[in-house]
Amino acid sequence: LTEELFNAEKYHLIGQLTASISHEIRNPLTTARGFLQLMGRPNLDAATLDRYRINALEGIDGANAIITDYLNYSKPSVEQPRLLDVRQELANVEQWVKPLCVMSNVELVSRHNTGDTLLVTGDSKKLQQCLLNIMKNAIESMPEGGVLTISSRKEDEKVLIFIRDTGIGMNEQQLKRIGMPFYTTKDKGTGLGLMVVTNLIQAMGGRLYFRSKPSQGTICEVHLPLEKTSRGTSVSDQPAPE
Ligand code: ADP
Ligand code: MG
């Protein structure tokens, strides 16, 4: 019964959130539409046309950013949870963020202990959405460039993923607020990225930790329960590599 109540409350919250997110997407789209309509007026000079065009594009970009951060979260899972190789998932996401790193002058360092396979249970798209949102934040925290370091390892019954940046960092007040819906310090932020991450990681039975120092950088740790089949069945199995 407790479980059911919990779910009812959770779905109520998700419903409210979906309503406000629709609103957040509709606003910039309405703006974009308005400017496109204005562009149809006769005798507009080139400068005005250009301004309308830029405003319309910004509206579309804004709507797109919300969809990107929220993408797989709002969709009910069609995929059954399955065994995921964390390193494989990380490698996939790293492929997507590589071009972002290049554009921002960020060096991507990928450090994995390749000796063992780290298995977790979950939905690949959702896990990748989490990792992408965290890595995007890391890159966005380094507007002047820097180093993005990604590593992973096994510890006890857990898989630990570390995403570290050398960016602007956060103070204690900021650290307390991250993950709240629509909390953002960015001009073009959505404030949805970490809310989505928090929810998805919790749903996988995991935890999320942030350590940060202003102007030094941030370390994000994702802890996920290690799938039993990769915990090693007997003591005589090959020793875990360091
Ligand atoms: P958004 O990226 O759209 O602002 P998020 O939920 O992804 O929304 O992040 C919320 C806020 O948390 C960001 O606006 C930023 O202030 C802070 N933040 C998150 N990750 C980092 C990071 N790696 N370094 C510095 N600040 C961060
Ligand atoms: Mg973000």
Is residue 135 a contact partner of residue 198, using CB atoms and an 8 Å limit? Answer: no
Q: Rounded to whole angstroms, how far apart are CA atoms 221 and 44?
A: 53
Q: Rounded to whole angstroms, how far apart are CA atoms 169 and 212?
A: 5
Does residue 218 line the site of ligand 1, with CB under 6 A?
A: yes
Task: Provide the sign of the torsion angle of the four alpha carbons 172, 176, 179, 183, taken in this order.
Answer: negative
The reported pLDDT for the residue numbered 230 is 54
Protein residue closest via CA to atom 8 of ligand 1:
191
The whole-chain average pLDDT of the chain stands at: 87
Segment-wise mean pLDDT, segments of 10 residues, the chain, 242 residues: 60 72 86 95 95 94 84 62 93 90 95 85 90 96 97 94 98 94 91 91 94 97 87 45 47
Q: Rounded to whole angstroms, how far apart are CA atoms 112 and 126?
A: 21
Does residue 167 line the site of ligand 1, with CB under 6 A?
A: yes
- Tokens 């970490």 correspond to 194
Q: Rounded to whole angstroms, how far apart are CA atoms 108 and 146?
A: 9
The reported pLDDT for the residue numbered 240 is 47
**Closest-lying ligand to the alpha carbon of 163?**
1
Does residue 185 line the site of ligand 1, with CB under 6 A?
A: yes
Cα 159 to Cα 32, 51, 73, 87, 223, distances in angstroms: 44, 50, 22, 10, 6
ipTM for the complex?
Answer: 0.99
- For a substitution probing ligand 1, which of 162, 178, 212 has the most ligand atoms within 8 Å of its CB? 178
Residues with CB under 5 A from ligand 2 (ion): 137, 193
